[in-house]
Every structure is written in C-alpha cells, then in structure tokens.
Amino acid sequence: MNNKLLYLLASLLVSNAAMGQILKGKVTNEQGAPVEFANVVLLSLPDSAFVQGTISNQEGTFHISASEEKYLLRISCIGYTTLHKHCTAGDMGTLQLSADTQQLGEVVVKGDLPQTRLKDGARLTAVAGSILEKAGTAEDLLNRVPGLSADGGRVNVFGRGTAEVYINGRKVRDHTELDRLASDNIKSVEVVNNPGARYAASVKAVVRIVTKKAQGDGWGFNNRLVTKYRYDWSVLDQLNFNYRKNGFDLTGMLYGSDRKSESYKTVEQDTYLNQLWQQDSRYEDRSHKQLLSGMLSMNWQIEPERSLGVRYTYKRTPKERRNFDMATTLLQDGQWNEDAVNMNAGNEQNTDHRVNAYYYGKWKKWTVDFNADGIWNETSETERGREQVRGEDGNESNATITTLGNNKNALYAAKLMLSRGMAGGELSVGSEYSHNNRTNLYYNEEGILQNDDSEIREGIWGVFAEYSHPLGQGGVQAGVRYERMKSDYLLSGKKVDEQSRTYDNVFPSVSFFHPLGKTQLQLSYAADITRPNYSQLCGAITYLNRYTYESGNPLLQPMLRHNLTLDFSYAQLYLSLGYQHVRNEMVSYYDTYSPDEPAISLIYEKNIAAYDKVSALAVYSPKIGCWNPQFIAGVEQQWYTADTPRGVVV
C-alpha cells in the first residue's frame, strides 16, 4: 500500500512537471512591505494582448503559468504607479511599486468581494473593516465565523472537530492566548478542512489567524479592559507596548484576569445490568479563576525576505477554585432505591514558561522556514469531596475523599521546512520532531482511590513532501507524510508494556482548486489519525461514584479517517460538502463491573466497526442596506448502527 501511494505521488510530480513553467515574484511598496491584491497581468509581445492574470496574496507574492517566450508584465494597484517590466518564465524576485502622488477628486469605489471566500486551499473570512472587528477577543470572533465554534480556548470546525490554531504562522500551544488577542487587531481568518502533508496527521482541521501589520516607527502603547456578566462579573485588563525601528520590533504584554462562571445541567442515565438502574442527576458547577501573564517578543526584519525572532511567555494561575455539586436519585426497575449527594471543592495552581524561536529566509534557491518551541509547566491541585447516601432502608452513610495531585510537563518541538520552485511549481519538504516528558503524582488520603506515580515519555517524528502547481488561475497540490510515534509509560519507575506503544503510518493528501468565472471550486482529500493516550490505555479502575467505575482499555487501536471535501463559493454564497470514512472510532461502553456487584457499571472505551459520515454547511451573507446579516445552516448524517436494550439504534 505504501509503495502505491509513493508511486501515485511520483506520478503527480512527473505529470505536473510537463505542464509548463512558472513566472513568480513578490510585490512590495517603497518601505518593503508586501502589497496585497495587486493586479498582475501577463501581456504578449509586441501586440500587448492579454495572456494570463492573477492578484498578489497577503505576502505580496504571485504565480502565473508561462513559457519560454518574452512577455510584458504589468502590475497595478490603487495608490501606486503602474509598473511595466519585460520578462520570461522564472523568479522575478522583489518588484517595488512607487506611491502615486497625483491628487484625485472624490472617488466612489464599489466592489463585490464577499466576506467569506475560497483562497489558496482555505476558506477565508475577511475581518478588517467588518462588524467582526468589534467581537471582543479572538475567541469571541472565532465563535462568529461561519462553521466555527470556540469555547474555553478550544476551536472546533463543523464536520471535522477540534482544530489546530496558528497566529501569523506560529502554532498556538497556549489556548488562553485567544483571550489575550483583541478582535480589532485581526485582519483575516482562514479555515482549512483537510490540512496537507506539512501538518501533523493527528490534525483534523487548521485555523490560521492573520493579524494587522503595525505601522510606523517608535513607541506605541494601548490598554484593553473587558468586563462581562454571566451569573457573576468577570474582568480582564491587558497592557500592550511596542517599539519599532529599522526593521527591529520589540513587543510586550502584561495581562491579568479574574473570571467567575457557573453551569447547570441534568443527566438521565439508564444502565441495563441485572436489572434496570436509572440515575437522575442534577449538576451545579461554579468556578473562580485568576490568571496573570506576561510576554516579551523580539523580531528583526533583516530584509524583505529574511527575518528572525524569539518570544517568551510567562503564565501564573494563583487560584482556580471549583465547587462541583451533584444530587442523584437512583431507581431500580422504576422504583426509588436511594438518594445521593456529592459535594466537591478544589483548587488548582499552575506555573507555565514558554519560549518560541523562528527564522525565515533564503538559502540559495531554497526558502527556509524554521520554528522551535520549549514549554515547562507545573500544576498542583487539591480536592476534597463528601458523599452522603440515604438508602431505601432509611439508613444514611457518609464518606470523605481527599486527593492531592502534582503534574510536571516538559515539551520540546522543532519544525524545518524548505521550499523552492521546481518544474513550473513549488516543492516543499520538511521534518518535525517533538518530545514530551510528563510526570504525574496523585495521592488519596483515605485509600479509596488508586494512587498514581507515573511518567510518560513520548516522541513523534515526521517527514513530509508537498508539491503544488498552478493550473491557469487555479492549481493542484499533492503531498505525502510519514510519522513514527513512540510512547513509553512508566509506573513507579518501571515500564508498562501494555500502555507503551509504537506507531508507523503514511498519510497521502491531494487538493484541486479552480475558479469558473465568479464561482470558486475546491476538491480536497486527506487522511488523519487519532491515537489513544495513556489514560485511555490504562487498565486501572477509577471511582466516579458508588454506582459507576471507569477504566481504560489496553487493546484500543488508533482511529483513522479518510476525508473528502468539496467547497463552493459564489458571490455571497458559500457551500461545503464533506464525506468521511471512519475506522476504529473509540466510543464509551457500559458493562457490569463484576457478577458479584451487578448494580455497578464499568465505563470503558472500545473500537467500533467502520462507518461513513457526510456533512453539509451553507453560508449566505447578503448586504441589505446598512445591515450585513449571515444565514448559516449545517447538517450531519452518519451510517452507524448499534444494538441496545431498546433495539437497533441508527
């Protein structure tokens, strides 16, 4: 199978090589900043007839299919003098536009650029100049982008699941960062449903945030104060400062927040064991979290196509208190059996250090993109719970459970990607490695729960190759990625084989994009994987309450998905159709704990049979007078059946 995939990729590379050559370049202004949306037109000689046309992207770069003939290149943009240049196929390098100093009268510009459109294999939502700028934080903004939902720092893409988030090409490893970024500093948001080979195979979707470029030299300061009321008041205050001079950029941030939240829900659980046991539970969850954070970043733009930088972030959670109460009524075959009340109070403290360094530049004909991260984190938590039970015999019992925990985590990660023009397209190759070392100490004073003294050592190494080639105003991209993951689990210093795993996998990807007039179409395929973590593989029993225990499953296998997506964009209408074939999905399963304890259920995960799933998302964004409403509709359907005590459920 792997040889077939490699042969398919090689065939694509060879076939693309025969499709012609490429003319490319980068458009900048007199200060060296990229010029976005510049019109780039290729004209024939000597009659100046139109041959090809495109626009520059947010980095100012453009690509046009060409041959060995001589052409006249015309680049124009509002506010700049039109540039004409003789050329042939190849790399034009940096093309500088001069500001147009002519004075113009009043001009009314009308356009039909939609708020959401397809661009370079992604779904792009323009934020600058729209109502989305006033959303508040980056998380508030993402929660308003069509097809996205964001809560508690987690971002989900409709039909795909949890997304990996990037800000200006830097991977977000601290989810609270979305709270520290103001929405009015964001230029655009890009959503990739089927990430290519340059992303880890465990990544289901990617959200790329592009911020506005700071203007001018010298010092700059701003302060942001946000207050919210939901059950109680929450407040955050953030001071940003910046110094910029001759390509050097020093940025800092001081942040503090005090948040209070509450949630209430009811859960009904039917467990079919020796008899029908019904649990009707009512939950109350209240939390109070304080967070202090600071950041210092230095960036140096050495030249238009070469830059480097380093960033340090410190985060401290001095207090995160949580009160969790649960009242449960237990019915046995429809008859009242007992009442139970669980009251839990806990506090968590966390200290976090993060360092990121990057380099972007040219080396001979290659573009070098390097990123490295280091994370050191320590968390300590205490929790005290009381359980009160009144049974059908009228007797009452009480139990107290006290737990202490301490976790330390160290992560080191690096990624190197090299890109260059080849056979009329662009070839990207690269490798990345991450190593994570985590220690867990967990102690229960009463001896009711199992203590834990464990360590996890996990390393993931990946190599990838990706090739893209323009086709007229569209393009095709194909890639392949190999990953090896080795995870060792140690208990009290000794390796546990059943929870230690090694995986080797190959993942292909391909996408095709082409505009048809005002209509934009994109078809993409990619495979992804979800590997079970150590807790899912652990066979130890965990106590949830007197009726329910939980355990892992050492026999779990990784979950694989094959994803096919068709995206369609026309004016203010956007449609996305998705198909998934899912193998070995991990789902929760309830069973009897033991024949001697038939009233106690054991929850664990197991792999289920393969099934298919489809999804559809439609977004319509018309302009009605001064209003910009959005109409969003989505639907998901899966073909999976399961046998239950109530019959077959689809």
What's the confidence (pLDDT) of residue 111? Answer: 41
Q: Higher pLDDT residue, 474 or 109?
A: 474
User: How far is 415 from 431, CA to CA, in rounded Å?
Assistant: 6
Secondary structure of residue 634 in the 3-state scheme: strand
Q: What confidence score (pLDDT) does residue 115 get?
A: 65
Least confident interval from 395-399, 448-452, 454-458 = 448-452
**DSSP state, residue 112:** -
H-helix segments, 412-504: none
pLDDT digit string (tens) for 373-392?
Answer: 999 999 999 999 888 888 87
What is the pLDDT confidence band of residue 50, given thresholds at 50, 70 and 90?
A: low
Instruction: Choose the most confident range, by mean pLDDT, from 92-96, 202-206, 370-374.
Output: 370-374
pLDDT confidence of residue 14: 39
Pairing label, strands 559-570, 573-583: antiparallel
Integer Cα distance of 9 and 197 in angstroms = 12
40-54, 183-197, 345-359, 516-530: the lowest-pLDDT one: 40-54
Q: Which residue has the tokens 């990121």?
A: 356
104 has a pLDDT exceeding 70? no
Q: How confident is the model at residue 362 (pLDDT cuts 50, 70, 90)?
A: confident
Which band of pLDDT confidence, cut at 50, 70 and 90, is reported for residue 98?
Answer: confident
CB atoms within 10 A of CB 553: 17
- CA distances 137 to 183, 224, 260, 316, Å, are 5, 10, 17, 20
Phi and psi based region of residue 167 (left: phi greater than 0; alpha: psi -120 to 50; beta: remaining): beta
Residue range 142-155: average pLDDT? 83
pLDDT in tens, 263-317: 899 988 787 777 788 888 898 999 999 999 999 999 998 877 788 999 999 999 9
pLDDT at 113 exceeding the cut of 60: no
CATH architecture for segment(s) 22-96: Sandwich (2.60)
Domains in the chain: boundaries:
22-96
CA angle 591, 595, 600 (to 5 degrees): 50
Q: What dihedral angle (degrees, nearest 10) is formed by the CA atoms of 53, 56, 61, 63?
A: -20
Q: Does the pLDDT at position 105 exceed 80?
A: no
Higher pLDDT, 277 or 17: 277
Residue 110 has pLDDT above 50, yes or no: no
Report the percentage of the chain scoring pLDDT > 70: 91
Residue-wise pLDDT for 521-554, tens only, equals 889 999 999 988 877 887 777 777 777 888 888 8
Of these ranges, 358-362, 473-477, 622-626, the one predicted with the greatest mean pLDDT is 358-362
pTM listed for this prediction: 0.75
In terms of DSSP bridges, do strands 148-151 and 154-157 run parallel, antiparallel, or are they unpaired? antiparallel
Residue 648, pLDDT score: 58
Mean local confidence (pLDDT), 379-407: 87
Tell me the three-class secondary structure of 309-345, residue by residue.
EEEEEEEEEEEEEEEEEEEEEEEECCEEEEEEEEEEE
Give 40-54 as a DSSP string.
EEEEETTT--EEEEE
Whether 16 has a pLDDT exceeding 50, the answer reads no
pLDDT at 375: 94
> How does strand 205-211 pair with strand 186-192?
antiparallel
Q: Which two tokens stand for residue 3?
A: 């040889």
Stretch among 104-118, 430-444, 484-498 having the lowest mean pLDDT: 104-118
- Mean pLDDT along residues 337-343: 88
If you average pLDDT over every residue of the chain, what do you get? 83
